[in-house]
Each structure stands twice: as structure tokens, then as C-alpha cells.
Amino acid sequence: MKDLVKLIARYNELGIADVIDHGRFTLIAIDHHSTRLEGSTLTEVETQVLITEGRTPNGKPLEESLMVTDHHAALLFTLLNAKEKKSLTVSFLQQVNALVMKNTGKIYHTIFGVIDSATGAFRKGNVTAGVSYFPNFDKVERLTSDLLKKVNDEMRAPLTIAEQINLSFDAHFNLVSIHPYYDGNGRTSRLLMNYIQAYYHLPLAIVKSENKAAYIQALVDTRQQQNIQIFRDFMSGEYALLLELEIEKFEEMKNPSKGSGFSFLF
């Protein structure tokens, strides 16, 4: 964690976040990887063109483009609320999930009535994912409310950078482990993580889609061993690699002689 805090300090010292268009491309990278984790096949370039130009890629299901644009809207909404320092509420989280699922949500028929997953409504049935079993549906609202109260209480206290980072990772893990919605739990949980990071003006973390298996395994191992440090270590590794790459790219841009520079291809 000390090394990660140093990387954040170096990232901020270099002013990377202030580079023109850097913030926009960071958001596009978050959209790309978060939706790829959930089944989108859009490339990062296709995601960029979709977000910046509104052009859907040829040969890809429309639902995948809708998943990306919905996620982008949810991400912007999340970051706006973080910038305004709004407290976390159940209603806010349901709004985030509703935006995530706006155009791809499905209708679920339960003994308690019809649930539209595009509205941010809590699930009214029990669910599993692989080897993971999630809390009974009748506990979801209370658990989500308790989680947000705990996070809000933590955020009211002075926290070190290391504590801020861990809080974002812990909130991510706990929300996805409650699994309060029928759909979009992973995306909503990662957005909650980004909310906390944005609240503290930290660089935004990304779970790379190519590390999906390791990500899922970290979630499973953390639940089975009841040891949050497992997930913290995984996320810290992802975060550190992201920051190291950003710092390296920025320093090469500023000092071409130290990197690959630019070569005319003729």
C-alpha cells in the first residue's frame, strides 16, 4: 500500500489528470473494461468512437452498444454526485443501477409482482453466480442501507490516502457481494468504488477485462476465506499497474528521448 500511495503522489505531481482529453479517455477506458467484464465485445476503439461520435460498430449486437452508452451515462452521473460531495443513499445507488440498465434491463416475474430491472429496483428472489450464493432477497434492502451508512460514516472521518483507497475497494466488494439487483451488480459496484475515489480526488481505478478470471477468483476467495485483504491486494495490484502505465506514458510524452519517441513510417 505504501508503494501505491507513492504512485498516486507521483501521478498527481506530474499533473497527468490535467492533460487535455486525459479525463475523457479515462472514462472511456472505464466504460470499455467494465462492460467487457459483463459480456460486451466492443473494442476500446469501438467504445471510443461510440462515446465520442455516437457511431455504433458494424457487426456487433445493438445491445452491447446500449450497454456501453448506458454505462457512460451512469459514470457521468456518479462522478457529478461525487464532485458535489453528495452523501451516499439507497436512492442514489438505485439511480446509478437504473442508468446502468436503462436500455438493457429485463422484466422479472416473481411471486411479489413484476420487477423491471431497468428501474433500479431491488431483486425479489434469491440468486447465485457460479459458486457464490448471495444473501436472501428479504435482507437486501437492509444490508445495502447498512453498507451505505457505514461508508458515509467512514467518509465523515479524516482518512489517510491508504484508508480512502481501501474504503473504495471494500465498498466495491461488499456491494457486489450483497448483489442487490437482478442485473448490473458488478458495474454498479465498480461505480460505487469510482464514486469514493472521485470524492477524494484520487485517480479512478479500472478492473481490466483481460483479468476477469483473476477478478472473479479474488471475489470468491475473499468470500470463502472471509478475508477482505485478498480483494484489497488484487485491486491494489490492478490500481498500481494502471498508475505505472499512465506515469510511464506521460513521462515518455514529455521526454521522447527516454522512450520510444516518434518515427516517420516512410
Sequence-ordered list of residues with C-beta below 8 angstroms from that of 198, at least 6 positions apart, any chain: 78, 79, 82, 83, 204
State residue 130's pLDDT score.
78
Cross-strand partners of 74:
none
Which segments are annotated as binding site?
183-190
Which segments are annotated as binding site for ATP?
183-190
CATH superfamily of the 2-245 domain: Fido-like domain (1.10.3290.10)
Comparing 47 with 256, the larger pLDDT belongs to 47
Is residue 38 scored above 90 in pLDDT? yes
What does the domain layout of the chain look like in residue ranges? 2-245
First vs last C-alpha separation in the chain = 46
Angstrom distance (rounded) from CA 78 to CA 80: 5
Q: Which of 32, 33, 71, 179 is the catalytic position?
A: 179
- Percent of all residues in the chain with a pLDDT value above 90, rounded to a whole number: 83
22 Cα distance to chain centroid:
18
State residue 22's pLDDT score.
82
pLDDT digits (tens, 9 = 90+) for 155-176: 999 999 999 999 999 999 999 9
State residue 112's pLDDT score.
87
Residue 130: which region, alpha, beta or left (left: phi > 0; alpha: psi -120 to 50)? left
Across residues 149-159, what is the average pLDDT? 96
Across residues 127-140, what is the average pLDDT? 89
Catalytic status, residue 179 = yes
State residue 154's pLDDT score.
97
Residue type (1 letter), 29: A
pLDDT digits (tens, 9 = 90+) for 168-214: 999 999 999 999 999 999 999 999 999 999 999 999 999 999 999 99
Write down the mean pLDDT value for the chain: 94
pLDDT digits (tens, 9 = 90+) for 219-250: 999 999 999 999 999 999 999 999 999 999 88
